[in-house]
Chain A
């Protein structure tokens, strides 16, 4: 059996990669993908922990819901990014800064 710590390490790595992507990519879609990485890190955790939660298996339920909601969020975000492209002709977030102080 794979020890729990391995799951956690992988999930932490995923999470970190996600954050890195979110912070560094010059493309909104890539940011979205980074967010997906982070979400999946969490979902992996849930599933892994759920093994030790025999009775309720809440973790698994949680993972399912999270996948669904993540999909919805991504769909909405993609639509919005599309819209942005319509007006800015770019999806580089560093160039989309009309709203600022």
Chain B
């Protein structure tokens, strides 16, 4: 069993173990989960260290690492040919960073769930199932397998939000589920279409292998998604349509304006650890999907629609930031800030330049750490007083100095203070977007300039919050009762927050920690996009 399988199935094993343990031991479940997550963390650290920077991946199986390819489903469907589905895992520079990110975010989320009291068995089992699904999405190279993991994420999330969430949890949970399902059902249709269009050059049969889908030579002459045939559906190029469908499916996850309305609800209603996972990892699946699937399989359509992607990115940046500015609920504010920050990802990706895509990748990783940190911080006060309305707090810096320090680190890091990862990420997303006009002519320069306004707005809402909640004389809505409850961060919290802050700082000072690993893949991806 290779490392990737271990990474994926370790949580499942732990989850089953938890299910089998008697309920009398329910206080120990979290240690089982912690063990699994820590082990996962070690494995991903090992993978990171032993990752070969020079291998590019993207479309060539031989340059993927830790490849595992086992025939899984072989079904004779008569005239439809043989259904060939492989258990096909592998990582390259685009996916490896996310494995590391996921394992760290999961660890933090687990630490944030330390005080969960309700139905522990179900909680940790679902948590670990989610962990498994996320790891699977990032390492699957067979589209069918990818889709299975992709959908598998929905259920645990539905229950995690729905059962352990806030007041309007039912609404938020189903809304989230529906949005995502709406995207993914149509994705399934495109997957089937791709299956029929692509043949495996080795066996001649149809295949779900994503890598084969990236090579135009593998498309059957008259197939619907054939590059040469250029078939049309309702007068729109089939490939463009498929790209749009896939893009929408992933963009819902990212999320983009105007497909974002699930996000504030889901984040706000979800319990803290789930918000951490949502913001820290799940949003990245959207971005990852766009890179791995939309750009790689439909580069022609991607280039065709780059202008719109860029526009959506800019719109998300500005719109998310403006919305954040209007919030009174701290968690909602951070949720909207996520929309804004993820807009940079889209802008960077749309530029199709090495700076832009690297910046987008960096932004995803950085946002993974920082948004986890932010949601963790919200969780800290929410856990203590069950309130997170910004106007209800004032002068927290006096009673919670260490907490305030972490808040400041997190806020300033997210608003792009140099030295933290978000700065490098946003700067290069924007530089890439600006550069695009000169290099490939995809995005007009004003988009980058407009996007940079998001940096200013980002500073505005975060600083305003800082001023309103943390500075000034202490004045709390809940009076002395709150004052007694609002104790400063404890050791577990400090550990989680520090590790996230350090990751962000490390990436900000030594971006090469991430860039070196992904460079070959990014270049390969751009090469792939420009071939056609």
Direct contact of A and B (CB under 8 A): no
